Protein backbone atom coordinates (compact mmCIF):
# COMPACT_ATOMS: atom_id res chain seq x y z
CA UNK A 1 0.00 0.00 0.00
CA UNK A 2 2.85 2.37 0.70
CA UNK A 3 4.12 1.88 -2.84
CA UNK A 4 0.68 2.59 -4.30
CA UNK A 5 0.39 5.67 -2.12
CA UNK A 6 3.76 6.98 -3.26
CA UNK A 7 3.00 6.33 -6.92
CA UNK A 8 -0.27 8.22 -6.55
CA UNK A 9 1.60 11.19 -5.10
CA UNK A 10 3.91 11.24 -8.12
CA UNK A 11 0.87 11.30 -10.38
CA UNK A 12 -0.76 14.16 -8.51
CA UNK A 13 2.35 16.36 -8.60
CA UNK A 14 2.87 15.70 -12.31
CA UNK A 15 2.78 18.96 -14.28
CA UNK A 16 0.67 17.17 -16.91
CA UNK A 17 -2.19 16.66 -14.43
CA UNK A 18 -5.20 18.29 -16.17
CA UNK A 19 -6.44 20.52 -13.36
CA UNK A 20 -5.56 23.92 -14.81
CA UNK A 21 -3.18 24.88 -12.01
CA UNK A 22 -0.65 26.47 -14.35
CA UNK A 23 -3.03 29.13 -15.65
CA UNK A 24 -3.06 30.89 -12.26
CA UNK A 25 -0.25 33.06 -10.87
CA UNK A 26 -1.86 33.87 -7.49
CA UNK A 27 -1.20 37.59 -7.91
CA UNK A 28 2.37 37.27 -9.18
CA UNK A 29 1.54 38.63 -12.64
CA UNK A 30 0.08 41.78 -11.09
CA UNK A 31 3.11 42.21 -8.83
CA UNK A 32 5.40 41.78 -11.83
CA UNK A 33 3.59 44.31 -14.01
CA UNK A 34 3.57 46.83 -11.15
CA UNK A 35 7.33 46.39 -10.75
CA UNK A 36 7.02 44.96 -7.24
CA UNK A 37 8.50 41.55 -8.06
CA UNK A 38 11.23 41.57 -10.70
CA UNK A 39 14.19 39.84 -9.03
CA UNK A 40 14.78 36.44 -7.40
CA UNK A 41 15.02 38.10 -3.97
CA UNK A 42 11.69 39.86 -4.43
CA UNK A 43 10.19 36.63 -5.75
CA UNK A 44 11.32 34.76 -2.64
CA UNK A 45 9.69 37.38 -0.42
CA UNK A 46 6.48 37.18 -2.45
CA UNK A 47 6.39 33.39 -2.16
CA UNK A 48 7.03 33.54 1.60
CA UNK A 49 4.11 35.93 2.16
CA UNK A 50 1.85 34.08 -0.29
CA UNK A 51 2.52 30.71 1.32
CA UNK A 52 1.73 32.06 4.78
CA UNK A 53 -1.56 33.65 3.77
CA UNK A 54 -2.55 30.69 1.56
CA UNK A 55 -1.96 28.24 4.40
CA UNK A 56 -4.10 30.29 6.79
CA UNK A 57 -6.88 31.02 4.29
CA UNK A 58 -7.17 27.76 2.33
CA UNK A 59 -5.57 24.84 4.16
CA UNK A 60 -8.29 24.71 6.89
CA UNK A 61 -10.85 24.14 4.13
CA UNK A 62 -8.83 21.19 2.82
CA UNK A 63 -8.65 19.73 6.32
CA UNK A 64 -12.37 20.19 6.96
CA UNK A 65 -13.36 18.70 3.59
CA UNK A 66 -11.10 15.70 4.25
CA UNK A 67 -12.70 15.09 7.66
CA UNK A 68 -16.22 15.52 6.28
CA UNK A 69 -15.47 12.89 3.64
CA UNK A 70 -14.34 10.50 6.39
CA UNK A 71 -17.55 11.13 8.31
CA UNK A 72 -19.60 10.65 5.14
CA UNK A 73 -18.05 7.21 4.55
CA UNK A 74 -18.51 6.25 8.19
CA UNK A 75 -22.21 7.14 8.10
CA UNK A 76 -22.77 5.34 4.81
CA UNK A 77 -21.18 2.15 6.13
CA UNK A 78 -22.89 1.98 9.53
CA UNK A 79 -25.93 -0.12 8.51
CA UNK A 80 -23.67 -2.63 6.72
CA UNK A 81 -21.35 -2.84 9.73
CA UNK A 82 -24.23 -3.78 12.04
CA UNK A 83 -25.23 -6.62 9.74
CA UNK A 84 -21.68 -7.93 9.53
CA UNK A 85 -21.21 -7.82 13.29
CA UNK A 86 -24.26 -10.00 14.07
CA UNK A 87 -23.14 -13.59 14.97
CA UNK A 88 -24.35 -16.27 12.63
CA UNK A 89 -25.01 -19.88 13.67
CA UNK A 90 -26.86 -22.63 11.76
CA UNK A 91 -28.44 -23.88 15.01
CA UNK A 92 -29.93 -20.55 16.00
CA UNK A 93 -32.95 -19.13 14.28
CA UNK A 94 -32.43 -15.58 12.99
CA UNK A 95 -34.19 -12.98 15.09
CA UNK A 96 -37.28 -11.36 13.63
CA UNK A 97 -36.78 -8.12 11.76
CA UNK A 98 -36.81 -5.34 14.28
CA UNK A 99 -39.41 -2.67 13.88
CA UNK A 100 -36.82 0.05 14.33
CA UNK A 101 -34.65 -1.08 11.38
CA UNK A 102 -36.43 1.26 8.99
CA UNK A 103 -36.12 4.11 11.47
CA UNK A 104 -32.39 3.41 11.79
CA UNK A 105 -32.03 3.48 8.01
CA UNK A 106 -33.92 6.75 7.83
CA UNK A 107 -31.72 8.29 10.52
CA UNK A 108 -28.65 7.23 8.56
CA UNK A 109 -30.03 8.82 5.39
CA UNK A 110 -30.77 12.04 7.26
CA UNK A 111 -27.26 12.09 8.74
CA UNK A 112 -25.70 11.52 5.30
CA UNK A 113 -27.86 14.27 3.83
CA UNK A 114 -26.78 16.66 6.58
CA UNK A 115 -23.13 15.81 5.96
CA UNK A 116 -23.56 16.50 2.26
CA UNK A 117 -25.12 19.84 3.14
CA UNK A 118 -22.00 20.53 5.21
CA UNK A 119 -19.94 20.12 2.02
CA UNK A 120 -21.97 22.70 0.15
CA UNK A 121 -21.95 25.03 3.16
CA UNK A 122 -18.16 24.73 3.36
CA UNK A 123 -17.89 25.44 -0.34
CA UNK A 124 -20.08 28.54 -0.06
CA UNK A 125 -18.10 29.73 2.95
CA UNK A 126 -14.87 29.58 0.96
CA UNK A 127 -16.58 31.48 -1.84
CA UNK A 128 -17.69 34.18 0.60
CA UNK A 129 -14.24 34.45 2.19
CA UNK A 130 -12.67 35.31 -1.18
CA UNK A 131 -14.08 38.53 -2.59
CA UNK A 132 -11.90 38.72 -5.72
CA UNK A 133 -13.55 37.50 -8.91
CA UNK A 134 -10.27 36.30 -10.45
CA UNK A 135 -9.41 34.21 -7.39
CA UNK A 136 -12.88 32.72 -7.30
CA UNK A 137 -12.80 31.80 -10.99
CA UNK A 138 -9.37 30.18 -10.74
CA UNK A 139 -10.39 28.20 -7.64
CA UNK A 140 -13.62 26.95 -9.21
CA UNK A 141 -11.84 26.03 -12.45
CA UNK A 142 -9.23 23.98 -10.59
CA UNK A 143 -11.74 22.41 -8.22
CA UNK A 144 -14.17 21.25 -10.88
CA UNK A 145 -11.29 20.03 -13.06
CA UNK A 146 -9.95 17.96 -10.16
CA UNK A 147 -13.37 16.47 -9.47
CA UNK A 148 -13.82 15.58 -13.15
CA UNK A 149 -10.32 14.10 -13.21
CA UNK A 150 -11.18 11.89 -10.25
CA UNK A 151 -14.44 10.70 -11.81
CA UNK A 152 -12.87 9.96 -15.21
CA UNK A 153 -9.45 8.61 -14.21
CA UNK A 154 -9.22 7.66 -10.54
CA UNK A 155 -12.70 6.66 -9.40
CA UNK A 156 -12.32 2.95 -10.18
CA UNK A 157 -8.90 2.92 -8.49
CA UNK A 158 -9.83 4.71 -5.27
CA UNK A 159 -8.75 3.12 -2.00
CA UNK A 160 -10.98 2.36 0.98
CA UNK A 161 -10.88 4.88 3.83
CA UNK A 162 -7.71 4.62 5.87
CA UNK A 163 -7.97 2.90 9.25
CA UNK A 164 -6.55 6.05 10.84
CA UNK A 165 -9.85 7.67 9.99
CA UNK A 166 -11.51 5.64 12.73
CA UNK A 167 -13.71 3.58 10.40
CA UNK A 168 -13.98 -0.20 10.37
CA UNK A 169 -12.42 -2.14 7.53
CA UNK A 170 -14.65 -2.52 4.48
CA UNK A 171 -14.28 -3.98 1.05
CA UNK A 172 -12.74 -1.68 -1.58
CA UNK A 173 -15.85 -2.18 -3.71
CA UNK A 174 -18.11 -0.82 -0.97
CA UNK A 175 -15.82 2.14 -0.32
CA UNK A 176 -15.67 2.87 -4.05
CA UNK A 177 -19.47 2.88 -4.23
CA UNK A 178 -19.65 5.51 -1.48
CA UNK A 179 -16.98 7.57 -3.25
CA UNK A 180 -18.98 7.42 -6.46
CA UNK A 181 -22.09 8.64 -4.66
CA UNK A 182 -20.30 11.58 -3.06
CA UNK A 183 -18.38 12.65 -6.17
CA UNK A 184 -21.44 12.27 -8.40
CA UNK A 185 -23.75 14.14 -6.03
CA UNK A 186 -21.30 17.00 -5.48
CA UNK A 187 -20.74 17.33 -9.23
CA UNK A 188 -24.51 17.44 -9.71
CA UNK A 189 -24.78 20.13 -7.02
CA UNK A 190 -22.21 22.21 -8.91
CA UNK A 191 -24.10 21.77 -12.17
CA UNK A 192 -27.33 22.90 -10.46
CA UNK A 193 -25.48 25.89 -8.91
CA UNK A 194 -26.05 24.58 -5.39
CA UNK A 195 -22.29 24.46 -4.92
CA UNK A 196 -19.35 26.23 -6.54
CA UNK A 197 -16.70 23.51 -6.55
CA UNK A 198 -13.80 25.45 -5.06
CA UNK A 199 -10.37 23.85 -5.21
CA UNK A 200 -9.61 23.43 -1.46
CA UNK A 201 -12.94 21.69 -0.84
CA UNK A 202 -12.64 19.41 -3.87
CA UNK A 203 -9.00 18.70 -3.07
CA UNK A 204 -9.73 17.57 0.49
CA UNK A 205 -12.61 15.42 -0.71
CA UNK A 206 -10.68 13.76 -3.55
CA UNK A 207 -7.53 13.23 -1.47
CA UNK A 208 -9.50 11.30 1.15
CA UNK A 209 -11.35 9.26 -1.46
CA UNK A 210 -8.00 8.33 -3.03
CA UNK A 211 -6.81 7.01 0.33
CA UNK A 212 -4.11 9.62 1.02
CA UNK A 213 -3.44 10.41 4.66
CA UNK A 214 -4.45 13.83 5.95
CA UNK A 215 -0.81 14.74 6.57
CA UNK A 216 0.26 13.93 3.01
CA UNK A 217 -2.80 15.67 1.60
CA UNK A 218 -2.00 18.89 3.44
CA UNK A 219 1.65 18.89 2.36
CA UNK A 220 0.75 18.03 -1.22
CA UNK A 221 -1.75 20.90 -1.35
CA UNK A 222 0.86 23.39 -0.18
CA UNK A 223 3.60 22.07 -2.47
CA UNK A 224 1.35 22.35 -5.52
CA UNK A 225 0.65 25.98 -4.63
CA UNK A 226 4.34 26.88 -4.33
CA UNK A 227 5.23 25.05 -7.53
CA UNK A 228 2.47 26.94 -9.33
CA UNK A 229 3.95 30.32 -8.34
CA UNK A 230 7.49 29.27 -9.29
CA UNK A 231 6.25 28.03 -12.66
CA UNK A 232 4.50 31.37 -13.20
CA UNK A 233 7.74 33.18 -12.38
CA UNK A 234 9.54 31.25 -15.12
CA UNK A 235 6.84 32.05 -17.68
CA UNK A 236 7.00 35.73 -16.71
CA UNK A 237 10.81 35.59 -17.08
CA UNK A 238 11.42 36.73 -13.51
CA UNK A 239 13.76 33.78 -13.08
CA UNK A 240 15.13 31.13 -15.40
CA UNK A 241 14.41 27.41 -15.07
CA UNK A 242 17.62 26.71 -13.12
CA UNK A 243 17.17 29.61 -10.70
CA UNK A 244 13.55 28.52 -10.27
CA UNK A 245 14.67 25.21 -8.81
CA UNK A 246 16.80 27.05 -6.26
CA UNK A 247 13.82 29.20 -5.31
CA UNK A 248 11.59 26.13 -5.03
CA UNK A 249 14.10 24.34 -2.80
CA UNK A 250 14.48 27.40 -0.56
CA UNK A 251 10.70 27.66 -0.21
CA UNK A 252 10.60 24.38 1.70
CA UNK A 253 11.39 26.05 5.04
CA UNK A 254 8.60 28.64 4.74
CA UNK A 255 6.11 26.11 3.42
CA UNK A 256 6.77 23.55 6.16
CA UNK A 257 6.55 26.24 8.83
CA UNK A 258 3.26 27.63 7.52
CA UNK A 259 1.79 24.15 7.07
CA UNK A 260 2.71 23.14 10.62
CA UNK A 261 0.86 26.15 12.02
CA UNK A 262 -2.18 26.07 9.73
CA UNK A 263 -2.80 22.33 9.55
CA UNK A 264 -4.64 22.34 12.88
CA UNK A 265 -6.60 25.58 12.37
CA UNK A 266 -10.38 25.41 12.41
CA UNK A 267 -12.61 27.11 9.87
CA UNK A 268 -13.32 29.83 12.43
CA UNK A 269 -9.62 30.72 12.41
CA UNK A 270 -9.31 31.28 8.66
CA UNK A 271 -7.60 34.58 7.88
CA UNK A 272 -5.69 36.57 5.27
CA UNK A 273 -2.24 37.33 6.69
CA UNK A 274 -0.68 39.26 3.78
CA UNK A 275 -2.84 42.27 2.78
CA UNK A 276 -0.51 43.30 -0.06
CA UNK A 277 -0.74 39.87 -1.66
CA UNK A 278 -4.51 40.01 -1.31
CA UNK A 279 -4.60 43.43 -3.01
CA UNK A 280 -2.42 42.23 -5.89
CA UNK A 281 -4.71 39.28 -6.46
CA UNK A 282 -7.69 41.62 -6.57
CA UNK A 283 -5.96 44.00 -8.99
CA UNK A 284 -5.47 41.27 -11.58
CA UNK A 285 -8.82 42.14 -13.15
CA UNK A 286 -7.53 45.64 -13.96
CA UNK A 287 -4.47 44.53 -15.93
CA UNK A 288 -4.57 45.57 -19.57
CA UNK A 289 -2.91 42.40 -20.84
CA UNK A 290 -2.74 39.07 -19.01
CA UNK A 291 -1.01 35.74 -19.34
CA UNK A 292 -2.75 34.11 -16.37
CA UNK A 293 -6.31 33.87 -15.08
CA UNK A 294 -5.38 35.12 -11.61
- Give the model's pLDDT for residue 162: 47
The answer to whether position 258 is within a domain reads yes
Q: Residue 73 is part of a domain; what is its CATH number?
A: 1.10.4190.10
- Give the model's pLDDT for residue 73: 82
Taking Cα atoms as reference points, which of 129, 125, 140 lies closest to residue 23?
140
- Give the model's pLDDT for residue 60: 97
pTM attached to this predicted model = 0.83
- Give the model's pLDDT for residue 208: 94
The answer to whether position 16 is within a domain reads yes
Please list, in sequence order, all residues whose beta carbon lies within 8 angstroms of the beta carbon of residue 210, skipping any fewer than 6 positions away: 8, 150, 154, 158, 159
- Give the model's pLDDT for residue 194: 92
- Give the model's pLDDT for residue 10: 87
Number of domains in the chain: 1
Residues of the chain where predicted confidence (pLDDT) is lower than 50: 1, 82-92, 160-170
Q: Tell me the angle at which helices 214-235 and 59-85 cross, rounded to the nearest 10 degrees.
A: 150
**Dihedral angle at the C-alpha atoms of 74, 142, 230, 275, nearest 10 degrees?**
-90
Distance CA(170)–CA(183), nearest Å, equals: 19
Distance CA(180)–CA(166), nearest Å, equals: 21
- Give the model's pLDDT for residue 111: 64
- Give the model's pLDDT for residue 177: 56
The answer to whether position 25 is within a domain reads yes
- Give the model's pLDDT for residue 157: 62
**197-237 confidence digits (pLDDT tens):** 999 999 999 999 999 999 999 999 999 999 999 999 999 99
The answer to whether position 292 is within a domain reads no
The answer to whether position 294 is within a domain reads no
The answer to whether position 240 is within a domain reads yes
Distance CA(131)–CA(24), nearest Å, equals: 17
The answer to whether position 293 is within a domain reads no
Helices (H) and strands (E) in the chain, counts: 11, 0
Residue range(s) defining the domain that contains residue 171: 2-86+97-286
The answer to whether position 33 is within a domain reads yes
Amino acid sequence: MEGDDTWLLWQLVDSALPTGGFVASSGLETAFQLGLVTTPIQLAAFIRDSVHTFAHSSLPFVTEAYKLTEQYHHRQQQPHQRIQEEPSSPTVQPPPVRSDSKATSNRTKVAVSQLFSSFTDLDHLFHASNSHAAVRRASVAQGTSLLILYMKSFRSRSSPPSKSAGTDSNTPAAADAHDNDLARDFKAAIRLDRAKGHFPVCFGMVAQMLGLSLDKSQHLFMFMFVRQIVSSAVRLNIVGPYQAQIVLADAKTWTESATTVARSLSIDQVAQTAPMVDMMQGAHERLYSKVFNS
